[in-house]
């Protein structure tokens, strides 16, 4: 894919290395794609209807969307010049490592892969899923793309909760079981909350630079103290959902295995960390989300 996305018209910029493309894909965000599929599959198994090849296709959809949105954000922020002073992972366009056109093509290659896998699921499940998939791709692009990106207006967290929580988890359950239930909803709320916490941490880290560049993220609107409180609420929600899921199976308490990682993720946030000091909170939030899903899915499947 790396050669394909480079293509002609790279505006005489140096060719990004494979390592730079990998970093630009932001692999630390992959738990946002893996966790909802695991949780949704566990919820489908709870209904006695887990279909593993559909779970794998759902994973391809989720991975295509998350990597695609990362490249799309890199492209959109890069051409606007809003990435020039940001901390964190390398930006391909902002750093000059790759041309905007190449990064944009990479985003749409990923969206295309997600669309093909999603179409296969729609053909074997329900055609209206094509519309859901189209909305997901549009949501991924317009997060920072277009004239009025919703990620710049304080709605990014809502988008993450909806797309990587409700839609991803309940969609995974539906394509396998043919229906959704309260167990799936509890899993969706749990995964969506901690996935949103990842974005909240990211935007907390970038409050100063986002303010300078005119990005009105939710963190900018709430301010530093209230954003840190919001993070606490979001990392606690999954464990509330674990207690709710006890009504389905007492083994759902296995979700508390993620608690040490959630506590570690919130520690620098609570301590008032800024900038690069918040990077560990990003990775720890992702680990907490993944551990919660890894622990909860088999609890539902075999409990």
CA dihedral angle for residue 105, residue 110, residue 115, residue 120, rounded to 10 degrees: 140
Distant-in-sequence contacts of 133-140, Cβ < 8 A, 24+ apart: 133/61, 136/65, 136/163, 136/167, 137/65, 137/68, 137/111, 139/163, 140/65, 140/68, 140/69, 140/72, 140/111
Q: Are 163 and 202 in contact (CB under 8 A)?
A: no
* Residue 82: predicted pLDDT: 66
The pLDDT of residue 215 is: 86
Whole-angstrom Cα distance, residue 172 to residue 47?
A: 13
CA distance 66 to 108: 12
Per-residue pLDDT, 95? 83
Distance CA 13, CA 22 (A): 18
**Residue 167 near residue 58, CB atoms below 8 Å:** no
**Of all helices (H) and strands (E), which one includes residue 35?**
helix 31-46
pLDDT for the residue numbered 86 = 55
- Whether 50 contacts 176, CB under 8 Å: yes
3-state secondary structure of 278: helix
pLDDT value of position 10: 43
Which pLDDT does position 146 carry in this prediction? 86
Question: For the chain, what is the radius of gyration of the CA atoms?
Answer: 19
Q: How far apart are CA 25 and CA 131, in angstroms?
A: 26
- Work out how many domains the chain is built from and give that number: 1
CA distance 294 to 268: 25
What is the residue whose two structure tokens read 């239930």? 181
- Predicted confidence at residue 106, as pLDDT, reads 96
Residues 6+ apart with CB under 8 A from 154: 216, 217, 218, 220, 221
Residues of the chain with pLDDT under 70: 1-14, 82-89
Residues with Cβ within 8 Å of residue 233, at least 6 apart in sequence: none
Backbone angles phi, psi at 143, to 5 degrees: -60, -50
Structural domain range at position 92? 2-302
pLDDT tens by residue, 201-255: 999 998 988 888 888 999 999 999 999 999 999 999 999 999 999 999 999 999 9
98: left (phi over 0), alpha (psi -120 to 50) or beta: beta
How many whole angstroms separate alpha carbon 46 and alpha carbon 292? Answer: 16
* Global model pTM greater than 0.85: yes
Residue 254's pLDDT is: 98
């Amino acid at each position: 894919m790396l050669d394909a996305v480079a293509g002609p018209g790279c505006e005489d910029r140096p060719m990004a290395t494979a390592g730079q493309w990998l970093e630009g894909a932001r692999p630390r965000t992959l738990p946002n794609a893996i966790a909802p599929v695991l949780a949704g599959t566990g919820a489908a198994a709870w209904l006695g209807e887990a279909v593993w090849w559909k779970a794998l296709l759902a994973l391809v959809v989720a991975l295509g969307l998350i990597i695609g949105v990362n490249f799309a954000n890199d492209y959109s922020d890069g051409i606007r010049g809003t990435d020039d002073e940001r901390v964190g992972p390398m930006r391909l366009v902002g750093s000059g490592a790759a041309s905007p056109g190449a990064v944009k093509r990479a985003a749409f290659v990923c969206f295309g892969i997600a669309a093909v896998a999603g179409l296969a699921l729609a053909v074997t499940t329900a055609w209206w899923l094509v519309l859901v998939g189209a909305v997901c791709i549009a949501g991924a692009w317009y997060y920072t793309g277009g004239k009025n990106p919703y990620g710049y207006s304080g709605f990014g967290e809502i988008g993450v909760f909806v797309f990587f929580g409700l839609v991803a988890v309940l969609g995974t359950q539906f394509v396998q079981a043919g229906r959704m239930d309260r167990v799936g909803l509890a899993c969706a709320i749990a995964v969506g909350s901690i996935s949103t916490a990842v974005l909240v941490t990211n935007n907390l880290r970038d409050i100063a630079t986002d303010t300078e560049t005119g990005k009105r993220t939710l963190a900018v609107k709430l301010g530093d103290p209230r954003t840190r409180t919001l993070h606490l609420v979001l990392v606690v929600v999954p464990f509330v959902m674990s207690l709710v899921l006890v009504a389905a199976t007492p083994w759902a308490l296995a979700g508390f295995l993620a608690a040490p990682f959630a506590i570690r993720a919130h520690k620098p946030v609570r301590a008032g960390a800024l900038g690069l000091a918040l990077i560990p909170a990003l990775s720890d939030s992702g680990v907490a989300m993944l551990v919660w899903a890894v622990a909860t899915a088999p609890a539902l499947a075999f409990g």
